[in-house]
A = this chain, B = another copy of it.
Amino acid sequence: MIMIPKSHPRYHSLIQREKLVEGVKKGITAMQGLIAHGRGEMFDYVLGEKTHDFAWEAERVAVAMMLLAKRPVISVNGNTAVLVPEELVKLSNILNAPLEVNVFHFSVERVRRIAEYLESFGAKVLAGCDAELKGLEHGRRIVDSRGIMIADVVLVPLEDGDRCEVLKRHGKMVIAIDLNPLSRTARMADVTIVDNIIRAIPNMIEIAEELRQSNRAELEKIVHSYDNREILRRAVEAIRDNLTEKAKELLEL
């Protein structure tokens, strides 16, 4: 891995890129994942690279929902696996929600590598690839019969547009982490966390450590008052206001 000085103004962003390029070399990340990451990077940039209040709110509801769930599952793709492996394992343990490998660019070999990579951090990983979600053509349809197939709540960080809809049609509650508040996934999900996963997952760990003491009534209260459309509206407005501000600064130069 290339050495990047910690003093570099874009240190965190460059480290993430290096992890993904390393991921490609290890056969974990798909090259298409690099493009998707670039897209997310720019959304994060126009959001000011911080967790906004609307994201904190969604993260809190997401954790409550997963603690209330009978069979919660955390879906993991190649990008997620290389960016936050330790954090995923920690969140999985606290929420008692297994990690399931699920990728768009499917191969048995790739799924195995992602699973092994996560297991090296101590994760319990589902990667059976023995069931199929009807209504999808690409690799995302291939799931584990003990995991997503029978889950009631699925956390999907870095999701492809159409799977969210299919998961909904299969009667599941979907929590998405998506930096694009306008995406199909963002609009189809029950809870949309508009935040970078490198902040969202640690935030969720922190929240989970607090909320796991709560009883069901308290958790239900958190979930009950939630309005995802309102969250998305606030996220879009934050991007708009941030861009308008940047444009003013630049055009006045």
- A67–chain B nearest beta-carbon distance, Å: 28
Choice from B21, B24, B35, B180 contacting A17 with Cβ under 8 Å: B35
Choice from B18, B24, B35 contacting A20 with Cβ under 8 Å: B35
Q: Which residues of B contact A46 (CB under 8 A)?
A: 239
0/1 per residue, A229-241, Cβ < 8 Å to B? 1101100110110
Tell me whether A42 is interfacial, beta carbon within 8 Å.
yes
Contact flag A243-B251 (CB < 8 Å), given A17-B35, A41-B35: no
Contact A243 B236 (CB under 8 A): yes
How many angstroms between the C-alpha atoms of A242 and B194 in the bound complex? 19
Contact flag A232-B244 (CB < 8 Å), given A38-B40, A38-B42, A184-B9: no
0/1 per residue, A187-198, Cβ < 8 Å to B? 100000000000
Tell me whether A161 is interfacial, beta carbon within 8 Å.
yes
Number of copies of chain A assembled together: 2
Contact B34 A187 (CB under 8 A): no
Contact B229 A253 (CB under 8 A): yes
0/1 per residue, A213-233, Cβ < 8 Å to B? 000000000000000011011
How many angstroms between the C-alpha atoms of A192 and B187 in the bound complex? 33
A side interface size, CB within 8 A: 52
How many angstroms between the C-alpha atoms of A36 and B250 in the bound complex? 21
0/1 per residue, A174-214, Cβ < 8 Å to B? 00000011101001000000000000000000000000000
Tell me whether A170 is interfacial, beta carbon within 8 Å.
no
Tell me whether A137 is interfacial, beta carbon within 8 Å.
yes
Q: Which residues of B contact A38 (CB under 8 A)?
A: 34-42
How many angstroms between the C-alpha atoms of A205 and B117 in the bound complex? 49
Tell me whether A108 is interfacial, beta carbon within 8 Å.
no
Choice from B2, B40, B137, B182 contacting A105 with Cβ under 8 Å: B2
Contact A161 B34 (CB under 8 A): no
Q: Which residues of B contact A229 (CB under 8 A)?
A: 250-251, 253
Beyond the given A9-B161, A181-B250, could you list 10 further A-B residue pairs with CB under 8 A, ordered by the A residue number?
Answer: A17-B35, A18-B32, A21-B31, A35-B41, A38-B39, A42-B42, A181-B247, A236-B246, A240-B243, A240-B244
